[in-house]
């Protein structure tokens, strides 16, 4: 019943975790999210690399998106091998061993009211 859809290599050129939030609670905390959908019947083993403007890339961050599941991962929550600094421009590459779909979303609550952005990531392969 599951549908295999997606690509194995994705890129997000924009990345920025706002340094502050005024929103209350985790849902309204400023965050940057990579939304991954694995619609197929095989678990997806995902490797994320983070690129910066002035240093060598960070990573590899490794995680699993189970078969027929979606994972909305906050970049803020990445810790191993190192956290991503706030208030810093970055970009990311997402590689998977099976096809997935990747979308990028940011909720910015630096000011009293929130702002949102989203886009499908760029894909190949």
Strand-pairing partners, residue 107, are 31, 116
Q: Give the contacts of 103 (CB within 8 A, at least 6 positions apart).
A: 34, 35, 37, 118, 119, 120, 121
Contacts (CB under 8 A) with its own copies, residues 3-22: 3, 5-6, 9, 11-16
Cβ proximity of 70 and 46 under 8 Å: no
Distance CA 67, CA 123 (A): 20
Q: How far is the CB of 79 from its own copies (least distance, A)?
A: 19
- Segments of the chain assigned E as strands: 7-12, 31-38, 44-52, 58-65, 69-74, 90-108, 115-120, 122-124
**Binders of its own copies: how many residues, by CB under 8 A?**
59
Whichever of 79 and 116 has its CB closer to its own copies, that residue is 116
For residues 59 to 98, the per-residue mask of contacts with its own copies, x marking binding by CB under 8 A and - elsewhere, is: ---------xxxxx--------------x-xxx-x-x---
Task: Note whether 58 binds its own copies by CB under 8 A.
Answer: no
| 120 binds its own copies, rule: CB under 8 A | yes
User: Any idea how long the chain is?
Assistant: 125
Q: Would you tell me which residues interact with its own copies (CB under 8 A)?
A: 2-3, 5-6, 9, 11-16, 23, 27-28, 33, 35-37, 39, 49, 51-54, 56-57, 68-72, 87, 89-91, 93, 95, 101-106, 108, 110-124
């Amino acid at each position: 019943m599951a549908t295999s859809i997606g690509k194995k290599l994705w890129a997000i050129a924009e990345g920025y975790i706002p340094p502050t939030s005024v929103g209350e609670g985790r849902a309204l905390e400023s965050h940057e999210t990579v939304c991954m959908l694995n619609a197929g019947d095989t678990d997806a083993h995902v490797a994320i690399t983070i690129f910066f403007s002035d240093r060598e890339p960070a990573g590899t961050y490794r995680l699993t998106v189970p078969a027929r599941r979606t994972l909305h991962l906050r970049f803020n929550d990445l810790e191993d091998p190192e956290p991503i600094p706030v208030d810093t421009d970055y970009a990311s590459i997402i590689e998977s061993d099976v096809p997935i779909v990747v979308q990028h979303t940011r909720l910015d609550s630096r000011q009293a009211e929130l702002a949102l952005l989203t886009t499908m990531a760029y894909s190949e392969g």
